[in-house]
Amino acid sequence: MAVVIGIPVCADAAERRTPIVPDVVKKLRAAGAEVVVEKGATAGAFLDETSLGEVSWVDSTDDVLAVADVLWVIGPPSDEVLAKVRPGTVLMGLLAPYSSADRLALMNERQITAFAMELLPRISRAQSMDILSSQGSASGYQTVLIAATRAPKFFPMLTYAAGTIRPSRVLVIGAGVAGLQAIATAKRLGAIVDAYDVRPETKEQIESLGAKFVDTGVSAAGSGGYARELTEEEKAQQAEKLAKAVAACDVLITTAGVPGKKAPVIITEAMVAGMKPGAVVVDMLAENGGNVAGTVAGKEVRVGPAHIVGPTNLPSRMPVHTSEMYSKNLLNFIAPMLNEGLLNMDWEDEVIAGACLTHAGEVKHPMVKQVLGL
């Protein structure tokens, strides 16, 4: 029998994205797979029962679980749902692998093979599957739009009958995919952009987008394309140099995260206190503790002279395109496993093995085991 890919309603009622879109349905069907979707699972992305294509619609999550061999999700299913998953089911999506040892224990109890796309190896062959990058790009774009609508100044230089308005100065902390998109978006809006990342290899990328690299003399190049955690001495040196750049900017956007750890606090209370009156801060890592002292997830707060915004689930704000990107990433991940409608997982494949969170009743990923003490 052909493999059945199931799409349940997301556990987070505020989530608007969906893991399935019409183009991906066509390609899954061409590969011999069947698709079952719970009614309502695609509504937030403006896809209804007439637009998704050749899928089977069911009335409840239980109906999906009863027939699905593979579940595509955005965010981990609730414990209640996991407890009903048939043993041997394959789970794919953003699963917050470092957030709950109890959830992993439940997955193991149910013999779920889970692939957390956050764990995808950072290699060239996996780029087309990289959900963190596709969704991060949307997040970086959104941070600049949020800042621009709250800034008390124009972003671009503006000439009018009585003179010239100087452009805003934007400082972006972190030059991963989200940070680079934030830089590009701020430049498109006409701002002067400075940017900083602890990885020295990002200097060329930052400058290629027309921004100026803030050099603090600290290098924290880590493995897998991520930054390592800084020592206390390095943090002090970084803070001293960054404080000057923070004080000079009109808008500050922070995007710096470390896998499996709480977001590092890069912008201290003293730095915030030294900002210009009316300065706007958008902390993309608010959900993970924040890069900025004073950030409150899901809130906008006034801290000294600054207006700090702590947005949550930024990709969900533009669900049409983020759903399309997410779904295509999942398609590219599962495509090598599909053979004439059947699922065949090659555990010698470094992409498949590297993204595996749980299998055969065990947590497979070494970093997750280390972080959670398993």
pLDDT digits (tens, 9 = 90+) for 135-160: 999 999 999 999 999 999 999 999 99
**Residue 222 has what pLDDT?**
54
What number of H helices and E strands is found in the chain?
12, 19
Residue 299 placed within a domain: yes
Q: Could you tell me if 102 and 195 lie in one domain?
A: no
Same structural domain for residues 166 and 286? yes
Q: Is residue 155 part of a domain?
A: yes
Q: Is residue 276 situated within a structural domain?
A: yes
Q: Which of 69, 103, 130, 135 is catalytic?
A: 130
Indicate if 101 and 214 belong to the same structural domain: no
224 and 348, same domain (yes or no): no
The answer, yes or no, to whether residue 226 has pLDDT greater than 60, is no
| Amino acid 340: pLDDT | 85
pLDDT at 224: 54
Instruction: Pick the catalytic residue from 133, 134, 135, 139.
Output: 133
Mean pLDDT over residues 302-327, rounded? 97
Q: Based on the domain organization, do 197 and 292 belong to the same domain? A: yes
User: What is the pLDDT at residue 118?
Assistant: 94
Overall domain count for the chain: 2
Query: What torsion do the CA atoms of 139, 145, 148, 154 make, to the nearest 10 degrees?
Result: 120
What radius of gyration do the chain's Cα atoms show? Answer: 22
Instruction: Tell me: do 304 and 191 sit in the same domain.
Output: yes
Note the residue count of the chain: 374
Mean pLDDT of 167-171: 97
pLDDT band at residue 225 under the 50/70/90 scheme: low
Range of the domain at 195: 137-312
Indicate whether 180 and 281 sit together in one domain: yes
Closest CA to 287 of 102, 99, 19: 99
Distances (CA, A) of 158 to 13, 15, 96, 162, 251: 42, 38, 44, 11, 17
Domain check: are 69 and 152 in the same one?
no
pLDDT, residue 236, reads 79
Active-site annotation holder among 127, 208, 215, 370: 127
Structure confidence by residue, pLDDT tens digits, 227-263: 566 777 877 777 888 999 999 999 999 999 887 788 9
Of 282, 312, 342, the residue at which a domain comes to its end is: 312
- What pTM was estimated for this model as a whole? 0.91
Residue 88 corresponds to which tokens in the numbers above? 């041997």
**pLDDT at residue 20 greater than cutoff 90:** yes
User: Which of 63, 99, 100, 122 is flagged as catalytic?
Assistant: 122
- Predicted local distance difference test score (pLDDT) of residue 223: 53
The catalytically annotated residue of 86, 219, 226, 317 is 226
Is 168 one of the annotated active-site residues of the chain? no
- Residue 126 placed within a domain: no
CA distances from 311 to 43, 282, 304 (A): 22, 7, 19
Q: Are 98 and 76 in contact (CB under 8 A)?
A: no
228 catalytic per annotation: no
Assess whether pLDDT exceeds 80 at residue 169: yes
What pairing do the DSSP bridges indicate for beta strands 34-38 and 4-7? Answer: parallel
Same domain, 295 and 235: yes
For the question of residue 226 being annotated catalytic, the response is: yes
Q: Does residue 213 lie within any of the structural domains?
A: yes
CA–CA gap between residue 116 and residue 353 (Å, rounded): 11
Ordered strands of the 70-74 beta sheet: 56-58, 34-38, 4-7, 70-74, 90-94, 113-116, 356-359, 362-363
Is the same domain home to 290 and 325? no
Average pLDDT over residues 117-135: 94
